[in-house]
Amino acid sequence: MIRSRNAGSFLVSIDVIFRDEATYRRALDANVFDPVRIGQLYHLDASAVRVIPHEITFGVKVTMPRQAPSGAVNDSDIDSAQSYVPLLALAVPD
């Protein structure tokens, strides 16, 4: 499962939750959620990207600055509901 949402007016938070521990471990071992790669996908410096593994849920939380503040004139997704889409380019190796 993957979902995104506002984490305040200036941040977006994306949750990726895996079906099982084996897939979660493969993703972590392969460094799928490398802040440099995520920064490239979102046109951000890697230092602005936080990646937080969550062992209990086999999930990963990615938090980063929004491209525009929520509700700003140039904001294309006020709730950040579609912000997860660039992460779909990432793949967990078999």
Q: Is 50 in a helix, a strand, or coil?
A: strand
pLDDT digits (tens, 9 = 90+) for 30-80: 999 999 999 999 999 999 999 999 999 999 999 999 988 898 998 888 888
Domains of the chain, residue spans: 2-70+80-87
pLDDT digits (tens, 9 = 90+) for 53-64: 999 999 999 999
Count CA atoms within 13 Å of residue 26 on its CB side.
11
Give, for 62, the enclosing helix (H) or strand (E): strand 59-65
Residue 49's alpha-carbon distances to 19, 36, 46, in angstroms, are 24, 8, 5
pTM, two decimals, is 0.90
